[in-house]
Amino acid sequence: MSSSEQKREVGGREGEGSSSMTLTQSDHHHQLSPPPQLSRYESQKRRDWNTFGQYLKNHKPPVPLPQCNYNHVLDFLRYLDQFGKTKVHLNGCVFFGQVEQVGPCTCPLRQAWGSLDALIGRLRAAYEENGGLQETNPFANSAIRIYLREVRDSQAKARGIPYKKKKKKRKIQINSSNNNEVNST
DSSP string, 89-121: --TTSTTTT-SS--S---PPEE--HHHHHHHHH
Calpha distance 92→124 (Å, rounded)? 36
Instruction: Say if residues 127 and 139 touch (Cβ distance below 8 Å).
Output: yes
pLDDT digits (tens, 9 = 90+) for 59-82: 999 999 889 999 999 999 999 989
pLDDT for 175 equals 57
Calpha distance 59→50 (Å, rounded)? 14
Is pTM beyond 0.85? Reply is no
Residue 109 Rama label (left phi>0; alpha psi -120 to 50; beta): beta
pLDDT digits (tens, 9 = 90+) for 100-156: 777 888 888 889 999 999 999 999 999 999 998 999 999 999 999 999 999 999 888
Calpha distance 26→155 (Å, rounded)? 57
